[in-house]
Structure 1
Amino acid sequence: MLTSLCMRRIITSNTHKLTFFHSSPKLEQQQPLTRTQLKTLVLNNYTNATNFTNLFQNVVASPSVLFTASHNISTTQNAPFHPYSLVQELRENRFDVAACCFTITQNGSSLVLPNLKLKVVIEAVRMVLEAVYDERFVTFCYGGRVGMGRHTAIRYLKNTLQNPTWWFTVRFKPHRFEHAHVEKLCFFVERKIKDCVFIDFIKRLFECKVLVIELGGNWLGKGLPQECGLCSILMNVYFDVFDKEIQETRLRENQENRELDMKMVGSGLGSDVFYKPVKVYAVRYLDEILVATSGGSKLLAMDLKMKVVKSLELGLSLRVDKLNTAIHSAVSEKIEFLGMELQAVLPSVLHPPMSEKAIRARKKYLRQKEVRAIEFRNARARNRRILGLKIFNHAYKKMKQSDGFKFDFSIENEVREIFKSWADEVVQEFLGSVDECQEWHRSLTAGDFLSLRHIRDQLPPDLVVAYDKFEEQVDKHLNPVKLRKVIEDKERKENQEEEQKYSKGTVEDLTRFCIKVDAPVGLIRKAVRLVAFTNHMGRPRPIDFLVALEDADIIKWYAGIARRWLDFFCCCHNFKVVKTIVSYHLRFSCILTLAEKHESTKREAIKHFSKDLKVYDMNGIDEIHFPTEKEVKMMGDRNLSDPKPVDGVLSLATVRLASDEPPTHCIAHFCDKTTTVFYRVRLLQNSLNVNPFEKWVQGMGVIHESLNQKCLPLCTNHIHDFYLGRITFQDIDLCGCRLTDDCCC
């Protein structure tokens, strides 16, 4: 479709991926280290003085550790090369960090990025820091840790935080780590790691600006290109002292308010007393901090807030936004945390009882179900009666026409089993009916003249005994009083359970508050309007700048946003609203975009692609990338992960270019394919001409504008993963290409 596009000539070295990797037959079969093996390797450098020494020379520069690091950041299944030359440079302390950095400058803003060689070393350092510190972090420290992501933090708040009264989130003014912060960070690291080379490497990363930690921004933990792989772990190390102080405060408050003094309450109250001890809760995800109190007054929350702000400003030299760090009532106000809205509500709000209309509908359904069961039972009895009569009629005719039946095989046992099963079912149905048992019991016990003594004396003893046994069996199986008593007991138990459930729910509503987590619907709808998924009336509309893409790429772009939103907000109480936005606004915006591209109507696009947005590959096999309506309905809070927000996918579009440039390597990590296509990066803020610091969605990250209009050579598999959000800019070696003078293609 694109016949002529002006693009900058991209000069890419076809061997840039292999400059520090050499093939090794032994190491091609080597497996990456497990966490246990890495931890053992790190502990081998642990001294009696409770410090680690020579970690950089003995662990980071280890071939197995570097191989594991390359495997971790690889976008392919195997990374079959091992960095021999890199090992020598690290062990001899000849590794030049500045030479491994690449600077992109545009419109006065610059971005320093590491090349693939430096990324491997950074990942190795991160692995070592994780092995040293992960078990030493407090339990409420989330982010940058295995199994400790956003959803795990939300689950902790739901299950642990009960009866919150006051809470606040700590907001930071936007500022970066300066020299003083770096020195303090290195001082904290030196407490456990006595390695000058290790500390010097971290300092050089800050000096070259390849490692930048900015608090108060919106790009940490979102997979944006300006985030380094060491940001999360180093931030946790920096905040570890603060976390320990909060932990001591929590333990002290819990210890002081652990037991209830019965003298203050009184001995006559008994079980009617509901005691709510004062507790302090805290959760930190990178630079987002939430502190809550339960059972305490607002003065306690204010005192706690002053201590937290003082510890951050004086102890860690951070700039706290005191205006936005405000105390809120947990019951009457919502608070934003981890991109979601939290509020304390009654348990009946999270699990509402059935309404009268729903109860009537359920009773109607049960009656209809019972009627259908009776009709089915009657039809089955009728069919069995007809079948039995046919069998007996056929057997009677055969007996009259011949002396008997002659078969090559015996079917007596099979027929006997069939009739026995029918008889058992009939008996069970009969014994389960109170009316029929009462009628037969009345018939069999009426006119009981054999119970008279002068009659029994005239009869044989065997007959009397047989009669008494018969009466016992009749009274045992057909007495309606016992059966009716069993049914009444069952109904009474059900009513008691319902009453207990109602009373328990009523007491909980009066004495307990739970955490409700909601997706910020207002911000999501603002993002939908900003990207122009909908018009001013809120109806889906096509997106013009996506018309230049292929059909499959358009669907993948929409699918990446849809799946990111669904994965991120699956733990929210109002997840149905997010499902509606995905199933309606995004799905039909994609259909309208495809219709505008092919100059057809919406109905024709639906007929061709279907509502599931099917596309066909080169072999004619259909592929579905966008979540189907059935798949969306089945989604819920089932997985506990750390999903990437939608920011990096929503604010980005890559357009395929028609180019006659020679084949080059794919710039995804450790991808050796040369069948690549050039894609131009188009950022949303530049396409809409919007200032991200003014008219932007609150809390939504922004990709660095220096990458706008840059061209990326990617293979088919990795552009597919890039559209769907499976890989980000952090999984791409942006240093693999250089831009020079303009020319036309």
Structure 2
Amino acid sequence: MWTTACRRGPKCASYFLQRANFVPSTPVVHACRPSLELLRFYATNFLLEEAEDAGESMSQLQKRSTPPISLAKSLACLPDESSTPEKRRPLTRMELKRLIELRVKRRVKAQYLNGKFYDLMGSVVAAADTLQDSYDIIRLNSNVDLASKIDDICFKSLAEELASGNFDVEANTLMMVAKGRSKECLVLPKLKLKVIQEAVRVVLEVVYRPHFSKISHGCRSGRGHRSALRYVCQEIGKPDWWFTISMNKEADGNILSKLISEMEEKIEDARLFNFIHRMFDAQVLNLVFGGFPKGHGLPQEGVLSPILMNIYLDIFDREVFRICMRYEGISSDSADVKNGQRSKLRCWFRRQMKDCDDKNVNQSTDAVETRLHACRYMDEILIAVSGSKDVALSIKDEIIICLRNSLYLDVEDHADLFAVRKNSRGLQFLGMAVRLAAKETAALRAVNKLKDKIRLFAHQKQEIWDAMTLRIGKKWLAYGLRRIKESEIKSLGLSTPLLDQISQFRKEGMKTDHWFKDMLKIWMQDMNAKVEANEEIILSKYIAEPALPEDLRDSFYKFHKQAMEYVSSETAATLALLQSSTTNTESIPSTETTVMRIEAPINFIKRNLHRYGLINVEGFPRHVSTLVLQDDALIINWFSGLVRRWLKWYSEFDNFGDIKHLIVECVRKSCIRTLAAKYRMHEVLIEKRFELEQSGIPLTEDLETEMMTSDSPISDDDEALMYGISSSGLCILSLSRVKVPTRIFNCFVMGCTIASPSMYALHVKEKQRFPGWKTGFSTSIHSSLNRRRIGLCSQHVKDLYMGHISLQSIEFGALST
């Protein structure tokens, strides 16, 4: 009856509702299943008792008249109650790149047959759609909107030219020659070749990503810089010995042939391998092992270098697993027993090793507890061994022989084998210091806290004493100069025998100030004051302190001596307590008494702060002269980019408090003094004026909270797609007023068509040898890029400062075209 009334129209439906003593105040919504709509109407317009009675009557009517309908159909018939549709969040650069990679992945999977990929160059790379997608990835790397104007590139003709083999690789390269005496050259790809390289990179990533080893990190999805350090701390554990492997080799014909033969196991495509050979002959394929720190987004690293390096060094990863199985799988029965149970996997593996004779088994009994761990980030390798020193040395020799003979790499054999527990300085890996330290207990923290308080109190008293003696020394200096000047005026009658004796050393015609300074220099030479740091120490130590009462001097130095003795005694007692606790508790596992620590290189960071002009020789903040001519927003972005890199890289490290101290004491004050030098204003006034802009250089935790909550374009750890951007080094760009008549340049960033208002000069501060410490600044830029002029729009200068783009996004040959 109910459904019949609904089908007949609104009059019948309203008549039925009137008979049921329901007078709706809103129009009735007609549907195939009106019961849910009426229940919603009851809940909003009637009492609860009436709605329950009406629901029971309606359910009885439905049971008699209509068959049961599924919940999905009922929900499909419900109207949309939202008046305004929900706005979707715009996709980030990372999400857009993953969508593009997914489209390319489908094309690559279509070429898979019988365990191999066929004709990837002709069917996937040399396709207009793939080239368009790779160009979009380049624009996303350059932080350019995909809806903006594109360059004048015909992807269809480029695909035909590439498929026919007529694409000239050498014509699409740019040779950069170093200025000055050095004749170093760098070959960079132009835009068209860059598009093709990006397409090849995405294709190779799809093919080889599932086959890489778990010990491989760097330029991979989810396996970046942080994951490598996390693997060292959590997975490796507490080994007995460890060492790093340093190599220095530029790819030659043997390495390229080995790489191609390795790729032929999964890919059968002669045209793809021929194209790689052509790029290698044109010197545009910059494949260098150990030549420079990886992951800084520098142009000499290239686009294909990371994936090709991972493919080539995957041979090493498999060899490490074979060595691990040989040392861990073939051992005595005592090594297989753990918690009263025998390892079935080791027993099965031992049975499968047909080539192991009784001699090898007997030799393996010496390494009962041998464990081998490895972590590789691109070409930086860390090997950790749990066992005897002889076994660790034999493993090291086997790995070096494998790298030399099988992979044709030049390995430096002077790296020592370090004992993990006896090496307090730790090991350098990925630009950080990794070491095993004692776990700090509550009692130890209390002792260290009291010791730090006493040291701080003694330091404060020392500062007060130095300030007091310096003030006395300055007053003595001013008094002596005034008395000598007054002695020249004979009418005052202030001449004394002492002054007359001093004035005998004065030459004729010499002014009083110069004569007095010469006398002080002679006196300083007699006192041998050259060993002191500055004049203030001379006035305080050699002039003021000897004139003070002896009791006052003795009491102060006695207090300072007792404070230092207490600090040193507590330090020695703490070390003795830790050593006794470790010797008395040999049965306790090392995991309960020690912990792996990762620390940032504070001393090297301070050196770079001085090299880039943020601090002076004494360590005090100063203004950066090369930034004074730039806009206020760009100056602040330069300092903010440095802070953001430090917060991103070192937020999980154990000495992150020291990094925060550098941010507050050096970076922020240097930024304020740079703006003060630009406007010739006092620092307090500058800080008040730029209070809003200075929020990017924090005094508190504001920036950390902002970076955690905001959708930063570099927040993801997918180094395969964000290579060179997520950890790009900080480049210092000084504004160069270059007058170029009758010509307007666009921005040199690939994919950007905005006019460049200014020309900038790139300054190379240092060229560090591999491996280098990770400090937040560019550690290795090719010397040919020094003082190279580039045109950038204001947005991309900010992106380069903030780390949203890298130097790989800049087309250095745009000035010559």
What SS is found at the alignment partner of 1:663? Answer: coil
Q: CA RMSD in A?
A: 3.5
Equivalent AA in structure 2 for residue 249 of structure 1: I
Aligned residues of 2:176 and 2:185 also touching (Cα < 8 A): yes
Cα drift, residue 319 of structure 1: 0.5
What SS is found at the alignment partner of 2:733? Answer: strand
Q: Show structure 1 runs of 5+ residues with no match.
A: 1-29, 268-274, 360-502, 615-623, 740-745
Asked if residue 571 in structure 1 is aligned to residue 661 in structure 2, the reply is no
Aligned residues of 1:659 and 1:678 also touching (Cα < 8 A): no
Aligned to 2:537: none
Structure-2 change in CA distance of 1:541 and 1:62 (3 Å): same
TM-score w.r.t. length of structure 1: 0.66
Asked if residue 329 in structure 1 is aligned to residue 416 in structure 2, the reply is no
Asked if residue 292 in structure 1 is aligned to residue 384 in structure 2, the reply is yes
Correspondence list, 1:308-457, <5 A: 308-323=399-414, 325-333=415-423, 334-348=426-440, 355=446
C-alpha distance in 1 between matches for 2:256 and 2:373 = 29
Aligned to 1:225: 299
What SS is found at the alignment partner of 2:113? Answer: coil
Aligned to 1:629: 700
Structure-2 change in CA distance of 1:290 and 1:130 (3 Å): same
C-alpha distance in 2 between matches for 1:677 and 1:732 = 16
Aligned residues of 2:285 and 2:302 also touching (Cα < 8 A): yes
Cα drift, residue 631 of structure 1: 2.5
Aligned to 1:391: none
Aligned to 1:114: 189
Aligned to 2:457: none
Task: Select 2:807's aligned residue among 715, 725, 729.
Answer: 729
C-alpha distance in 2 between matches for 1:634 and 1:257 = 51
Q: How many residues are matched?
A: 539
Equivalent AA in structure 1 for residue 113 of structure 2: T
Deviations 1:544-576 (A, max 9, x none): 222222222221112222212221222211111
Asked if residue 211 in structure 1 is aligned to residue 282 in structure 2, the reply is no
Aligned residues of 2:97 and 2:137 also touching (Cα < 8 A): no
Asked if residue 522 in structure 1 is aligned to residue 628 in structure 2, the reply is no
C-alpha distance in 2 between matches for 1:730 and 1:554 = 22
Cα drift, residue 512 of structure 1: 5.5
Q: Show structure 2 runs of 5+ residues with no match.
A: 1-95, 342-366, 451-583, 710-714
C-alpha distance in 1 between matches for 2:208 and 2:338 = 45
Cα drift, residue 326 of structure 1: 1.9
Aligned to 1:194: 268
Aligned to 1:123: 198
C-alpha distance in 1 between matches for 2:385 and 2:707 = 29
Aligned to 2:212: 137
Deviations 1:482-541 (A, max 9, x none): xxxxxxxxxxxxxxxxxxxxx999945675543211111121122112222111221111
Asked if residue 670 in structure 1 is aligned to residue 751 in structure 2, the reply is yes
Task: Select 2:627's aligned residue among 523, 546, 557.
Answer: 546
What SS is found at the alignment partner of 1:120? Answer: helix
Cα drift, residue 128 of structure 1: 0.8
Aligned residues of 2:637 and 2:798 also touching (Cα < 8 A): yes
Aligned residues of 2:729 and 2:779 also touching (Cα < 8 A): no
What SS is found at the alignment partner of 1:226? Answer: helix
Deviations 1:416-468 (A, max 9, x none): xxxxxxxxxxxxxxxxxxxxxxxxxxxxxxxxxxxxxxxxxxxxxxxxxxxxx
Cα drift, residue 587 of structure 1: 0.9
C-alpha distance in 1 between matches for 2:131 and 2:336 = 62
Aligned residues of 2:633 and 2:693 also touching (Cα < 8 A): no
Cα drift, residue 613 of structure 1: 4.2
C-alpha distance in 2 between matches for 1:165 and 1:629 = 40
Aligned to 1:87: 159
Correspondence list, 1:456-471, <5 A: none
Task: Select 2:395's aligned residue among 304, 311, 315.
Answer: 304
C-alpha distance in 2 between matches for 1:253 and 1:640 = 38
C-alpha distance in 2 between matches for 1:150 and 1:265 = 36
What SS is found at the alignment partner of 1:78? Answer: coil
Q: What is the percent sequence identity of the aligned residues?
A: 29
Aligned to 1:434: none
C-alpha distance in 2 between matches for 1:519 and 1:248 = 34
Aligned to 1:607: 688
Equivalent AA in structure 1 for residue 175 of structure 2: T
C-alpha distance in 1 between matches for 2:432 and 2:696 = 26
Cα drift, residue 310 of structure 1: 0.3
Aligned to 1:682: 762
Structure-2 change in CA distance of 1:356 and 1:336 (3 Å): closer
C-alpha distance in 2 between matches for 1:212 and 1:186 = 16
Structure-2 change in CA distance of 1:506 and 1:672 (3 Å): farther
Aligned residues of 1:347 and 1:509 also touching (Cα < 8 A): no
C-alpha distance in 2 between matches for 1:225 and 1:644 = 9
Deviations 1:311-355 (A, max 9, x none): 0000111101111x2211112221011111111223447x98763
C-alpha distance in 2 between matches for 1:522 and 1:559 = 21
**Which piece of structure 1 moves more, 183-192 or 645-654?**
645-654
C-alpha distance in 1 between matches for 2:136 and 2:304 = 17
Asked if residue 281 in structure 1 is aligned to residue 373 in structure 2, the reply is yes
Equivalent AA in structure 2 for residue 299 of structure 1: D
Asked if residue 149 in structure 1 is aligned to residue 224 in structure 2, the reply is yes
Cα drift, residue 168 of structure 1: 0.5
Structure-2 change in CA distance of 1:335 and 1:31 (3 Å): closer
Aligned to 1:54: 119
Aligned residues of 1:517 and 1:572 also touching (Cα < 8 A): yes
Aligned residues of 2:760 and 2:792 also touching (Cα < 8 A): no
Structure-2 change in CA distance of 1:185 and 1:300 (3 Å): same
**Which piece of structure 1 moves more, 511-520 or 553-562?**
511-520
Aligned residues of 2:672 and 2:686 also touching (Cα < 8 A): yes
Structure-2 change in CA distance of 1:251 and 1:261 (3 Å): closer
C-alpha distance in 2 between matches for 1:127 and 1:112 = 22
Equivalent AA in structure 2 for residue 92 of structure 1: S
Cα drift, residue 163 of structure 1: 1.9
Aligned to 2:9: none
C-alpha distance in 2 between matches for 1:264 and 1:556 = 57
Aligned residues of 2:296 and 2:729 also touching (Cα < 8 A): no
Structure-2 change in CA distance of 1:117 and 1:264 (3 Å): closer
Deviations 1:103-124 (A, max 9, x none): 1223222221111111111010
Cα drift, residue 646 of structure 1: 10
Cα drift, residue 665 of structure 1: 2.3
What SS is found at the alignment partner of 2:240? Answer: strand
C-alpha distance in 1 between matches for 2:448 and 2:304 = 56
Equivalent AA in structure 1 for residue 390 of structure 2: L
Deviations 1:1-36 (A, max 9, x none): xxxxxxxxxxxxxxxxxxxxxxxxxxxxx9985544
Deviations 1:643-667 (A, max 9, x none): 9699964453241536465433222
Correspondence list, 1:58-77, <5 A: 58-74=123-139, 75=142, 76-77=144-145
Cα drift, residue 46 of structure 1: 2.2
Aligned residues of 1:647 and 1:702 also touching (Cα < 8 A): no
C-alpha distance in 1 between matches for 2:705 and 2:327 = 43
**Which piece of structure 1 moves more, 59-68 or 641-650?**
641-650
TM-score w.r.t. length of structure 2: 0.61
Aligned residues of 2:187 and 2:284 also touching (Cα < 8 A): yes
Task: Select 2:308's aligned residue among 226, 231, 234.
Answer: 234
Cα drift, residue 543 of structure 1: 1.9
